[in-house]
A = this chain, B = another copy of it.
Amino acid sequence: MSDQRTEVADLGEFGLIQHLTRNIELQNASSIVGVGDDAAVIDHFGKQTVVTTDMLIEGVHFDLMYTPLKHLGYKSVVINLSDVYAMNATPTQITISLGLSNRFSVEALDEFYEGVYAACSKYGVDLVGGDTCSSQKGFIISVTAIGEVTPDTYVKRSTAQKGDLLCCSGDLGAAYVGLLFLEREKKIYLENPNIQPDLEGESYVIGRLLKPEARKDIIEFFAQNNIRPTSMIDISDGLSSEILHICQESGLGCRLYEEKIPVAEEMRRAAFKFEIDPTACALSGGEDYELLFTLPQSDHEKLVLNEQISVIGYMTEAADNASIITKGGNTYPITAQGWNAFKNTRG
């Protein structure tokens, strides 16, 4: 080992991945898309296989104090399926590896698996393997999802075209506000265990956090209407971050219209309770698991068929950078830490 020490935090997650994978040369003709997209694509003699994997660690990705195990099982599967859909593919199988401390009983695991099987059933995927081992501390979940796609209909992040419409599914920011409520109630409970949690009326935003869904319906809509996005990614880290991925990897800029960003009324009301800007939640909240994609302008009329899809902007030349046009008509750059940066810019 060299004497140099670079902190992982200095590179950031994406910088780290880029660093660690910079020298990969694919050896198998069947490896079509490797590291760096929502999922890899593998060719098996005509049919193409998609594979993606995610790790969830207690205390980092979830808090068992307010996360029911059944929901956690469901979510662990769904967030991986979301990555498969984001390749325009259909998930077919999953594997799950778990690391468990002895604090977990079999009954607790049964709850977790109830959620896993509910997700498998809803999305038509099979659990085909896994590994269960001890952990010294905490609950660790690693899920790999495998899917299939008709040859060469997979959609990468890097192939958006100038002039394309920038679109997203569903509504954004609600999961983040749900998290704020749960964290607030946890804090109150820890200070005084006799106070009952007050989450009345917030079931929408909390449900979006605890039991997200993957947008299978959007992929089916594309297939039924002969739509093939030019690029696509799922929105797991907030809209800003995902837009920047598409821009950077496609070598383009974009214009995003604040007024077009879809937010639920429940999220807007909830955000105001915390005195935060709903747009900031959508831009940087994360865990929405909606799809962000680009389409040729010629597909615009097909989109009106689906009220779950919003056109939120368009792609430009790289020189124009990625920017947001606010409701007030000002233009600001979109930044990866959109939430804070955006707040600061607006003063």
| A142: interface (CB < 8 Å) | yes
| A105: interface (CB < 8 Å) | yes
Contact B55 A113 (CB under 8 A): no
Contact A57 B8 (CB under 8 A): no
Stretch of A9-17, A194-202, A296-304 at the chain-chain interface: A9-17
Contact with B along A163-202 (1 / 0, CB 8 A): 0000000000000000000000000000000000000000
Contact A45 B47 (CB under 8 A): yes
State A21–B110 Cα separation when bound (angstroms). Answer: 10
Interface residues on chain A, size class: 35 or more
- Assess A93 versus B140: contact at CB under 8 Å? Given A6-B105, A104-B8: no
The 8 closest A-B pairs by CB, nearest first: A40-B128, A142-B142, A6-B106, A55-B97, A44-B44, A31-B126, A144-B144, A40-B129
What are 8 A-to-B residue pairs whose CB atoms are below 8 Å? A5-B105, A6-B106, A20-B113, A28-B124, A42-B146, A56-B133, A57-B134, A95-B144
Known A53-B131, A56-B133; 10 more pairs at CB < 8 Å: A7-B102, A26-B126, A28-B124, A31-B126, A34-B128, A35-B129, A51-B51, A51-B128, A57-B136, A60-B134
